[in-house]
A and B are shown apart, each in its own frame.
Chain A
Amino acid sequence: MSSLEIIATVLGGLTIGSALMVVLSPHPVRSVLYLILTFFLISGNYILMNAQFIAVVNIIVYAGAIMVLFLFVLMLLNLSKDNEPKSSIKMKIAATFAGGALLTVLIAALKDSVILPKTEMLENQQGMVENLGQLLFTKYVLPFEMSSILFIAAMVGAVLLAKREKQIIE
């Protein structure tokens, strides 16, 4: 086993372990902290694939902004064993189905993927900023622009919701 393979194996194991801890940890705040750790480890995996840009953007967006808001809300909620909302059996069944559907889609998507040998991963230049930008603005320009329109719609919606509530109070 080369040193690169050892690093990849250890990193992958840690990622899966910390992702499992997100679900298994009894305390919600600790769960979120494990989730943040998972994002960092995923970024480590990206770096191993020579995709520095995605690695850093993953940290800035997910670990740096979204998870801060998660933590923010959880800290205010004061969740503990006693006042944990009881989930009904119907909800559990629905959650299982939703999770199963996601798993099916993920397996279907990954089924035909090609696994590169570890030695080729470091020479892979696709994750570099220039190549990624070229791809985003030429080959994938339509999905890229569509997702930005989606984001703007979500932002306008959020602002609208916040505004409406204020008007009722006044």
Chain B
Amino acid sequence: MDTGLLIEKTILVVVIFAITLFIATYQTYMERKVAAWLQDRVGPDRAGPFGILQPIADAGKMFFKEDFIPANADKWLFIMGPGIAMFTASMTGAVIPWGPPLEMFGRTVVLQVADINIGILFIMGFASIGVYGIMIGGWASNNKFSLFAAIRASSQMISYELAMGISIITLVLMSGSLSLGEIVQQQHGMNWNILYQPVAFIVFFICSIAECNRAPFDLAECESELIGGYHTEYGSMKLGFFLFAEYVNLFISSAVISALFFGGYNFPGMDHFSGNALAILGTAAFFAKIIFFIFVIMWIRWTLPRFRYDQLMHLGWKKLIPIAMINLLITAVVIGFNSGWFTKKSAKVKQTEKSVAMMPKAKVDAQANYKINFNN
């Protein structure tokens, strides 16, 4: 490993972390403005022009509040809870491809921290352990309402993870790769996965809102039943971390949705650009998509009422999982049919040809390009 790569990746990690925190901070402002807009109010407008300094004022307030730990709480786990929530939320950004490669100081900088060949599974892994922050924090508070919230959160996460995983498998079948970099590469131009897999997108979208614990799935912090939910006993910046982790999760899941289904950094007419212009425009397009999805999820939050708990489980287990399964079955059959598995000739077709034949033409080209780039 050369030193240049090490420096490059370190800078990239710091930049992505800073951008994630910045966007998460301004999501709180955006959420309040969107809520105000949908409810025909003005929203925060005191700190700075248009209230633009409101998140900074809020963060300052959080830091200066009393850092309180309940007497009967498990002290270490009480402190660990928000830390784990924040850690798991910010880890996922490492495998997301943020843009086309950038030419800088005679080097090709890939705008992705780690293009591991199991990128999607990495995201699934961190989505599934994200619940530990809530569980540990809720249990360590030694408060029955926090415990209820922790149990609700964990059962909800486990239920929705299944449908989410199945819809991802459908996508993996289509693209023939588990690497996020390659999946985004294959969606060159307007060849987005949403056009091939609308059902998988709907399932994935609903599940990712549920995994973020956002309304209408925010039963873990349902204030009409559970006071404040899992963070009832928390105050100061520990509470801030929990709330902040939720916004980081929202940002990352919007990024994953845009990368998997809406082409990531690809945009129509991208062939007219090359080099750094393409890199900058692609990254801008990606962030525009992310902000659009953040807005849509906020819109849903301020439009729909919260589910009842049995409705939530009903939707997860009896609606989404069967839909995702049927979608997976149909996709698999269509792919098998296209690659000639049901005709006699199929026996002679080699494995590699099969996997190529099942993709649309443009995808094959994109994959070939990717392989060339990768080998260089």
Contacts and interface: CB of A to CB of B under 8 A. Distances in A.
Interface stretch (B17-25, B127-135, B331-339): B127-135
A129 B116 CA distance: 11
Interface in A10-29: 29
A60 B117 contact: no
13 contacts: A33-B136, A52-B116, A52-B117, A56-B121, A56-B122, A60-B125, A63-B128, A64-B125, A69-B158, A71-B139, A75-B147, A128-B117, A129-B178
Interface in B56-102: 74, 77
A8 interface: no
Nearest to B123: A56
Given A29-B77, A57-B121, A75-B139, 17 more contacts: A29-B139, A30-B77, A33-B136, A52-B117, A53-B118, A56-B118, A60-B121, A60-B125, A63-B128, A64-B129, A65-B128, A65-B158, A65-B161, A68-B128, A68-B132, A68-B135, A72-B151
Contact of B154 (A30, A63, A68, A129): A68
Nearest to A39: B129
A134 B122 CA distance: 21
A36 interface: yes
B129 A59 contact: yes
A119 to B, nearest CB: 15
Interface residues of B, number: 25
B324 interface: no
Nearest to A134: B351
A76 interface: yes
B169 interface: no
Contacts of A63: 125, 128-129
Main secondary structure of the interface of A (DSSP, over half): helix
Contacts, number: 61
A113 B162 CA distance: 36
A71 B137 CA distance: 13
A166 to B, nearest CB: 14
A64 B151 contact: no
B150 interface: yes
Contacts of B151: 72, 75-76
Nearest to A59: B125
Contact of A129 (B117, B128, B139, B157): B117
B132 A36 contact: yes
Nearest to A73: B151
Contacts of A52: 116-118
B117 A72 contact: no
A53 B177 CA distance: 13
A59 B122 CA distance: 9
Nearest to B140: A29
A30 to B, nearest CB: 8
A147 B124 CA distance: 23
A17 to B, nearest CB: 17
Contacts of B122: 56
Contacts of A33: 77, 136
Contacts of B136: 33
Contacts of A30: 77
Contacts of B303: none
A36 B125 CA distance: 13
A33 B132 CA distance: 10
Contacts of B131: 68
A71 B135 contact: yes
B125 A72 contact: no
Nearest to A47: B116
Contacts of B369: none
B155 interface: yes
Interface in B214-249: none
Contacts of B77: 29-30, 33
A129 B158 contact: no
Contacts of A56: 118, 121-122, 124-125
